[in-house]
Amino acid sequence: MPAQAGPQALPGVKNIVAVGSGKGGVGKTTISVNLSVALAKLGHKVGLLDGDVYGPNVPIMLGLDTQLTTDGQKIVPAEQYGLHVVSIGFLTQDDAPVIWRGPMLHGVIQQFFREVRWPPLDYLIVDMPPGTGDVALSLSQTVPVTGAVLVTTPQKVSLADTRRAIRMYQKLNIPTLGLIENMSYFVCPNCQHESDIFGKGGGEGLATAMGVPFIGRIPMYEPIRRGGDAGMPLVLSEPDSPSAMAFLSAAEQMAAQISIASYKRPIPLTPVS
């Protein structure tokens, strides 16, 4: 029987959301993890697929040290903090580099969708590699993607690369659900003075210029880093902190954008017999 062409939906998975960035070092995986945990805290069923095959850090940030298992037919996701998690990091040693060409990347992305026993999910968050490369193309060819969340920092270099990433997703017919500005500002722990270390307003300005929603401003806050290193996301370790509330707000706004897009989607007309 010939293989089906084009993206195929995952049974029971309502929305697949890519979290990407135009460049590395902007905190994309930190956003992916905290966004996923925030969605779970809001009562949603959430999966997290670590698609950043060159830097699979999701297991570290979730405090997972395990190997993937199977039920005899398909891979069974690991579970942590209410999330169902799959990562290439479960299949490699901590210091082992992944040196793969495009076809191998495409194969593992397909495997993580088709050969995993994903439970019914409201959201499957995909932590993407930075930049505009093979994995985004493979994702768009494998499954119908609801949309993308782009992560930037305020400075000009990051904004330029984020603009390219937005254009890439547009070419792949993947709508941008929102732009999150990470490391937006620094609050002094002693005097509470806010410092715009990387500039101010860049992310929001880019969102306006590109016609995409601006859904969050995440400050530089040391416990975010400590939580990632310790495997305890900030949304859980300091749920009442302003930074955790910013993650929750971004999750709510992302979900709202998905609802708006679904409402605006044209309904196919049923032929009258």
Tell me whether strands 16-21 and 123-127 are parallel, antiparallel or unpaired. parallel
67 Cβ contact list (under 8 Å, min separation 6):
90, 91
Distances (CA, A) of 38 to 1, 106, 228: 42, 29, 15
Q: What percent of the chain has pLDDT over 70?
A: 88
Mean pLDDT is lowest, of 77-81, 127-131, 145-149, 213-217, for 127-131
pLDDT tens string 8-57: 889 999 999 999 998 888 999 999 999 999 999 999 999 999 988 777 89
Give the chain's mean pLDDT.
87
Task: Give 224's Cβ-side CA count (13 Å radius).
Answer: 24
Task: Give 229's Cβ-side CA count (13 Å radius).
Answer: 5
| Bridge partner list, 124 | 16, 47
Q: Give the class (CATH, top level) of 16-261.
A: alpha beta
Q: What percent of the chain has pLDDT over 90?
A: 58
pLDDT of 264: 66
Q: 61 falls in which pLDDT band (50, 70, 90)? A: very high
Q: 97 falls in which pLDDT band (50, 70, 90)? A: low
pLDDT tens string 159-215: 999 999 999 999 999 999 999 999 998 877 777 777 888 888 899 999 999 999 999
> Would the pLDDT of 138 be above 70?
yes
pTM here is 0.89
> Would the pLDDT of 246 be above 90?
yes
